[in-house]
Chains A and B, each alone.
Chain A
Amino acid sequence: MSADLQAQGVEFNYPDGRRALDGVDLDIAAGERVAILGPNGSGKTTFALHLNGILEPAAGSITIAGMPVIEENYPEIRRMVGLVFQDANDQLFMTTVREDVAFGPMNMGLEGDELDRRVDEALRVVAGTEFADRPPHHLSGGEKRRAALATVLSMDPSILVFDEPTSGLDPAGRRELITTLASLPMTQLIITHDLSLALELCDRSVIMNRGRVVADASTREILSDAELLAQNRLELPRVIGSEG
């Protein structure tokens, strides 16, 4: 149900030559839930796209459950690593939510009852059964986010990678999503600017800046280091009633 992940010295350059990843080292144990924090442009999303081979590193290596992320392993890696994109519109490209949820399992060759079972189960987990047959562009922001999650859950992944899962959601939508994430047993990497989400869901946090991991500690420790946060353009929410 959950898998571990190792990244060693991962480097990547954009086509125009700028350096995006400058030697990322990261070790995640099976079943861990880790927040990835950091300013815009620090390489978080680029790193996420390396985890299932969408981008290939210029140097360094990544292994998932002991399996190197190389072309011959892509089909299995992509089944195991579920990427939930920042803009759900990029992930919901089919005519109905149900077709989108079925897209992954169908590419894996599933059909018939097993396919239906997978799709229904994924929709149930995200509480999306009622909007299953609606076209994606008629869903609310929160519903789109949950539908996008269902499209990867149907592939029975062991690692989930979220890119800004709560951006643009209203407070109720954000709460529903957090509840869903907390209930999932897979290893989770959550890229986010939402520090209270990190504190609530993740025991451990990593800060990336300029293509490197610059801090890796318990979320409480990181969030109580005001200087570290400021250096990396992060800010804690101010609590109502406190000074300032």
Chain B
Amino acid sequence: MGSGHGHALYVHEHSFIHRMAPQAKLLAAIGMVASVAITPREALWAFGIYAVAVAGLFVASRVRLRYLFVRLLAVAPFVLFAFFIPFIASGEKVELGPFNVSVEGLWGAWNILIKATLGASVSILLTSTTEIPDIFRGLAALRIPALFISIATFMIRYLELIIDELGRMRIAMTSRGYDPRWIAQARPIATSAGAMFVRSYERGERVHSAMLSRGFTGEMPIFKQTEPTPAQWAVVSMFVATFVAIATTALVVT
């Protein structure tokens, strides 16, 4: 199920969203998703506005909508689960074509579907317009603990190397005719996972030596950050304010 991992989602383009300082984008994404999450499910009009706004941002980012739809498949399993809810939920029932479904369940399914789709779309917009190191720089600017960010940065740096090693182990196993069908045949996989851990740990120790050799004392040096321009803050504030206003109105009205 982790098939989408490991490959950066960044789409190289030139748009004002790509150029925007990462911390501004992060705040905007969190503000928008949080607004969506607290909006009552009955406020259909609110979700309509959100959808139009997010679609507009995608157009502005010049990331193709087709890319968005492909990436949205990642939430498909939950969509599937949402489709079951009307059938397994309790409460008043209505007939829907040949089916007999729960009204509350229908609302629940709608709630998950729309919020998951909008939330994932915003996340996809963020990751397709921001390179991973910039996301970490943005987090640093938002005062996420440096230790956490440094570990995450190292993880991304060495992920590709480890995946390559994994690929080579796979090839070595396959070329000797290994094609497991049952869990009982999983020993070689588990053994190579163990070997991979040892290699990773030893690499961590060598990297540590390389860091000490260059005067590392336990604190990572801090690099200059790009500060968001006032115009960027203005755009972000406008968007977040709009989303929050819609969510608040929806909460009051419903």
Q: Is the CB of A107 within 8 A of B215?
A: yes
The reply to whether A107 and B216 contact each other, CB–CB distance below 8 Å, is yes
On chain A, the residues within 8 Å of B216 by CB distance are 103, 107
| A95 within 8 Å of B (CB atoms) | yes
Which residues of B are found within 8 Å of A155, using beta-carbon distances? 214-215
Do B160 and A137 touch (CB < 8 A)? Answer: yes
The CA-CA distance from A96 to B161 in the complex, in Å, is 16
Q: Which residues of B have CB within 8 Å of A75?
A: 215
A85-B210, A99-B223 known; A93-B157 Cβ under 8 A: yes
**Which A-chain residue is minimally distant from B205 (CB atoms)?**
A90
A151 lies within 8 A of chain B by Cβ = yes
Find A83's partner among B133, B160, B210 (CB 8 Å cutoff): B210
Check B153–A95 contact: CB distance below 8 A.
Answer: yes
B221 touches A90 (CB 8 A): no
For the complex, count residues of B whose C-beta is within 8 A of A: 22
Q: Is the CB of A90 within 8 A of B210?
A: yes
- Against B, the Cβ 8 Å flags (1 = close, 0 = not) of A46-69 are 000100101000000000000000
B209 and A54 form a contact (CB under 8 A): yes
Kindly report which residue of chain A lies nearest to residue B213, judged by CB atoms. Answer: A83
* Residues in chain B near residue A135, CB distance under 8 A: 133
Q: Report B209-239 CB contacts with A as 1/0, cut-off 8 Å.
A: 1111111110001010000000000000000
Q: Which residue of A lies closest to B224 (CB)?
A: A111
* A85 pairs with B206, CB closer than 8 A: yes
Interface of A is mostly: helix
Complex Cα–Cα for A80 and B20 (A): 41
A49 close to B209 (CB less than 8 A) = yes
CB contact between B213 and one of A54, A89, A94 (< 8 Å): that residue: A54
A87 within 8 A of B: yes
Query: For the complex, would chain B's binding face be called helix, strand, loop or mixed by DSSP majority?
Result: helix
Q: Residue of B at shortest CB range from A108?
A: B215
B-side contacts of A102, CB under 8 Å = 221, 223
Please give me the residue from chain A that is nearest to B159 by CB atom. Answer: A137
* CB pair B210 A93 closer than 8 Å: yes
Which of B136, B209, B215, B217 has the most chain A CB atoms inside 10 A of its CB?
Answer: B215
> Which of B158, B210, B214 is A107 in contact with, Cβ under 8 Å?
B214
**Does B53 touch A at the CB level, under 8 Å?**
no
Complex Cα distance, B161 from A103, in Å, reads 21
Q: Which among A54, A93, A99, A104 has the greatest number of chain B C-beta atoms within 10 A? A: A93
**Contact, CB under 8 Å: A78 / B206:** no
Pick from A79, A83, A107, A137: contact of B157, CB below 8 A.
A137
Neighbouring A residues of B211 by C-beta, 8 Å = 93, 103
A226 on the B face (CB < 8 A): no
- Shortest C-beta distance, B180 to chain A (Å), equals 30
A53: nearest residue on chain B (CB-CB)? B212
Q: Is A152 an interface residue (CB 8 A)?
A: yes
Asked if A91 is an interface residue, CB under 8 A from chain B, the answer is yes
Chain B residues near A87 (CB, 8 Å)? 206
In chain A, what residue has the closest Cβ to B161? A89
Write out the residue numbers on chain B whose beta carbons fall within 8 Å of the beta carbon of A96.
133
Which A residues touch B154, using CB under 8 A? 93
Residues of A contacting B206 in the complex (Cβ-Cβ under 8 angstroms): 85, 87, 90
| Interfacial chain A residues near B153, Cβ < 8 Å | 94-95
Contacts of A70 in B (CB 8 A): none
- Among residues 113 to 138 in chain A, which have CB atoms less than 8 Å away from a CB atom of chain B? 135-137
Q: Contact check, B212 vs A54: say whether CB atoms are below 8 A apart.
A: yes
Q: A106 interface residue, CB < 8 Å from B?
A: yes
- How far, in whole Å, are A121 and B157 apart by their CA atoms in the complex? 25
Q: A49–B209 Cα gap in the complex (Å)?
A: 8
Q: Cβ of B203 and Cβ of A151 under 8 Å apart?
A: no
Give the docked Cα–Cα distance between A75 and B215 (Å): 6
- The chain A residue sitting closest to B219, CB to CB, is A107
- Residues of B with C-beta under 8 A to A79: 215
Could you say which of B157, B161, B207, B213 contacts A78, with CB atoms under 8 Å apart?
A: B213
Residues of chain B within 8 A (CB-CB) of A107 are 214-217, 221
Taking Cβ atoms with an 8 Å cutoff, the residues of A that contact B are 49, 52, 54, 75, 78-79, 81-83, 85, 87, 89-91, 93-96, 99, 102-104, 106-108, 135-137, 151-152, 155
Chain B residues at the A interface, C-beta cutoff of 8 Å? 133, 136, 153-154, 157-158, 160-161, 203, 206-207, 209-217, 221, 223
What are 28 A-B interface contacts by the 8 Å CB criterion? A54-B209, A54-B213, A78-B212, A78-B214, A82-B213, A83-B210, A85-B206, A87-B206, A89-B158, A89-B161, A90-B206, A90-B207, A91-B210, A93-B157, A93-B210, A94-B157, A95-B136, A95-B153, A96-B133, A102-B221, A103-B211, A103-B216, A107-B215, A108-B215, A135-B133, A137-B157, A152-B213, A152-B214
